[in-house]
Amino acid sequence: MTAVKERFSRAAPAIAARLGPKAGGRISNPIQYRGGPMSCPDPDVFVWGSLYVATGTSDIGQYNPLPNGKMGPAPDAFPIYWSRDLATWYFANYIFPHGHVPPGANPPTGSWTFTGHYWAAEIHSIGGQYVAYFGAQKTDGKMGIFVAWTKQLFGGNWQSKILIGTDGSIDPSVCWIGSQLYMVYTHQPNSVWLTKLSADGLAAQGNGVQISEGNLPWEKGSDGHYVEEGPVLWTYKDANGKWTTYCFFNAASTWDPTYAIGVLIQQRDGSWKKHPEPILSAGPELVSTGLGTQPFHTASGKLFISFHCQFRQSCGHNMEGRWLCFAPLEMANGIPTVAGGVPPTTVVT
């Protein structure tokens, strides 16, 4: 299979042109925001002209940017941030500001209740508009996959609908493979599925096919259950011009140091082979590592991944404790990996 379409255009948007070139240097993990670690579970980070843009999970009780510039529980979903250097981030808007609710979904609440889950958004440029894929709690209380679209990335005026309503479907990730748009997603709690999408990205085509489930020792959490979730679909062209399709995923328990990132590799016959070991797991201080989106290239051409983590000493079921981190992704013999575990600092340029 040959990848023929990039995720985003390299043309610099007007806002990027006004701000000038990105800075570089060394950044600290986790990223800091307004005096503390930047809360961004399941981070989606991508290049937009000469800027980086990020969004992440908005769950019940999630601390989000408030109108007064502070942070706190807010009834909004999926904050969008922008940065010039991956280190300093600025809040732009929400995909779903207060009062904007996807049809068929419970509204975000901004409080510790049992409604209002908004998980793992991923944004793409498809057919002349921006398209976001995400999991949200339906009005029946079950999770499903939704799609939203708009002409203005920071405008906060997204149309939306249910894309896959099967109960327990979450964590969508979209990628062009050749001329076909595909989406991977999770069916809770322990399986990864692949389906085709229409060319505009707004409709699923046919039935999904299961491509993986947790069955290796490192995919078992501290609670004794196997888990695979958070799949991320990605195509990569190596130095010899060969394209390979990968599916990253998160495994084991989200809320403790067992959480790790693995990878599936698509074979020539279309089947998927799981790499036997995780490509990123716990570090000395930062644990509960979870990938949210495709790797991307920095201004200097380095290949990077974004992921969330928790501090080992305070790891637990804490939505405000999953912090944004970055690391260089290395490709060795066709296997993506992060050398040295979770790095406390990362050189961007």
Q: Give the pLDDT confidence score for residue 102 in this predicted structure.
A: 96
Q: Which of the two residues, 320 and 237, has the higher pLDDT score?
A: 237
Look-up of token digits 């990628």? 175
253: alpha, beta or left? (left if phi > 0; alpha if psi -120 to 50): beta
Decide if 8 is inside a domain: no
pTM, two decimal places: 0.93
Q: Give the pLDDT confidence score for residue 317 in this predicted structure.
A: 81
pLDDT at 62 over 80: no
pLDDT at 130 over 70: yes
Decide if 4 is inside a domain: no
pLDDT at 5 over 60: no
**Which residues form the domain of 271?**
14-347
| pLDDT single digits (tens) 168-224 | 999 999 999 999 999 999 999 999 999 999 999 999 998 899 999 999 999 999 999
Q: Can you give the CATH number for the domain in which 102 is found?
A: 2.115.10.20
| pLDDT single digits (tens) 105-121 | 999 887 766 778 899 99
Decide if 59 is inside a domain: yes
What are residue 299's phi and psi, to 5 degrees?
-60, -30
Mean pLDDT of 278-305: 92
pLDDT at 150 over 90: yes
3 state SS of 333:
coil
| pLDDT single digits (tens) 9-55 | 433 344 444 443 454 578 899 999 888 899 899 999 999 999 999 99
Decide if 214 is inside a domain: yes
Task: Please tell me which of 22-36, 224-238, 285-299 the model is most confident about, judged by mean pLDDT.
Answer: 224-238
Mean pLDDT of 325-346: 88
Decide if 157 is inside a domain: yes
**pLDDT band at residue 349, thresholds of 50, 70 and 90?**
low
Decide if 3 is inside a domain: no
pLDDT at 305 over 70: yes
Decide if 6 is inside a domain: no
Q: Give the pLDDT confidence score for residue 202 in this predicted structure.
A: 98
Q: Give the pLDDT confidence score for residue 11 in this predicted structure.
A: 39
Q: Give the pLDDT confidence score for residue 7 in this predicted structure.
A: 61
CA atoms of 24 and 83, how far apart (whole Å): 11
DSSP string, 140-199: TS-EEEEEEEES-TTS---EEEEEE-STTEEEEEEEEEBTEEEEEEEETTB-EEEEEE-T
Q: Give the pLDDT confidence score for residue 61 in this predicted structure.
A: 61
Decide if 2 is inside a domain: no
Closest to 40 (Cα-Cα) out of 324, 318, 335: 324
Cβ-contact 182, 197 below 8 angstroms: yes
**pLDDT band at residue 316, thresholds of 50, 70 and 90?**
confident
pLDDT at 95 over 70: yes
Number of domains in the chain: 1
Helix (H) or strand (E) segment spanning residue 14: helix 14-19
